[in-house]
Chains A and B, each alone.
Chain A
Amino acid sequence: AQSVSQHNHHVILSEAASLELGCNYSYGGTVNLFWYVQYPGQHLQLLLKYFSGDPLVKGIKGFEAEFIKSKFSFNLRKPSVQWSDTAEYFCALGAGNMLTFGGGTRLMVKP
């Protein structure tokens, strides 16, 4: 069975700080990986996705993530966060037409 772990449950940053959110997965087959974002009171929206090819994927709003197969990781990064990035971020693993989500990381960006 697959699983996804997000070790940072809460992160607080000041505007312009750099962001890195950790995501590790456990799965023995070919992986499809996603980061979703949920702004306060809203539904989940796709930030970026990795299916194959270049392990560094770029998404919307300046986010990027790097797939490191040897570390079973898919960490999310942003060089300079803004107050509007305050949200909850979910890493997800796609396998067998289903997504398995991590527990989420709540990011608060102080103005």
Chain B
Amino acid sequence: NAGVTQTPKFRVLKTGQSMTLLCAQDMNHEYMYWYRQDPGMGLRLIHYSVGEGTTAKGEVPDGYNVSRLKKQNFLLGLESAAPSQTSVYFCASSPHYEQYFGPGTRLTVT
């Protein structure tokens, strides 16, 4: 099993550009999450999904959109990137509370 994978691993965007981050899991988990990690702030939840076709806002949803068209995939989109979105993004999946994390995507917005 690959667990949780994220694509891409690194990306540099210019302000105003758009991009989509892909998260995939092969553990048949119902719940999936997108976090951002910034120094000294721990992980903050952006959006999450409790099942295929469902999404919900987390703590810091502004500027991001998500979709969960298939159970195994959870996409995070940035429609118009801003420098404040420079961060490391982690995806996680969970059968209930215990979450399994992907390797992260380091995004820089210039």
How far apart sit A13 and B24, CA to CA, in the bound complex (Å)?
A: 38
- Of A62-70, A75-83, A95-103, which binds chain B? A95-103
CB pair B42–A90 under 8 Å, yes or no, is yes
A49 within 8 Å of B (CB atoms): yes
Pick from B41, B43, B50, B94 the residue with the most CB of A within 10 Å: B43
Contact A42 B43 (CB under 8 A): no
Given contacts A34-B98, A43-B101, A44-B101, A101 and B58 within 8 Å (CB-CB): no
Asked whether A98 and B98 contact (CB < 8 A) given A43-B90, A44-B90, the answer is: no
| B contact residues around A32 at 8 Å (CB) | 97
- Residue among B40, B42, B90, B101 facing the most chain A CB atoms (10 A cut-off): B42
The CA-CA distance from A46 to B101 in the complex, in Å, is: 9
Q: Are A103 and B50 in contact (CB under 8 A)?
A: no
A36 contacts which chain B residues (CB < 8 A)?
A: 101
Contact-size category for A: 20 to 34
How many A-B pairs with Cβ below 8 Å?
49
B26 to A: closest C-beta gap in Å: 16
Instruction: Judge if A94 is at the interface, Cβ distance under 8 Å.
Output: yes
0/1 per residue, B34-58, Cβ < 8 Å to A?
0000001111110010100000001
- Report the minimum CB–CB distance from B41 to chain A (whole Å): 6
**What residues of chain B lie closer than 8 Å to A51, measured between beta carbons?**
97
How many residues of chain B are within 8 Å of chain A by beta carbon?
A: 23
- Asked if B97 and A103 make an inter-chain contact with CB atoms under 8 angstroms apart, the answer reads no
Q: Is A9 an interface residue (CB 8 A)?
A: yes
Report whether A101 and B42 are in contact in the complex, using a CB–CB cutoff of 8 Å: yes
In Å, the complex CA distance between A73 and B107 comes to: 34
CA A66 to CA B88, docked complex, whole Å: 31
- Apart from A49-B98, A103-B42: 9 A-B pairs, beta carbons within 8 A: A44-B43, A44-B90, A44-B92, A90-B43, A97-B31, A97-B97, A98-B33, A98-B45, A101-B43
Q: Which residues of B contact A (CB under 8 A)?
A: 31, 33, 40-45, 48, 50, 58, 90, 92, 94, 96-104
9 closest Cβ pairs, A-B complex: A94-B97, A101-B42, A44-B101, A43-B101, A103-B42, A101-B43, A32-B97, A43-B103, A104-B42
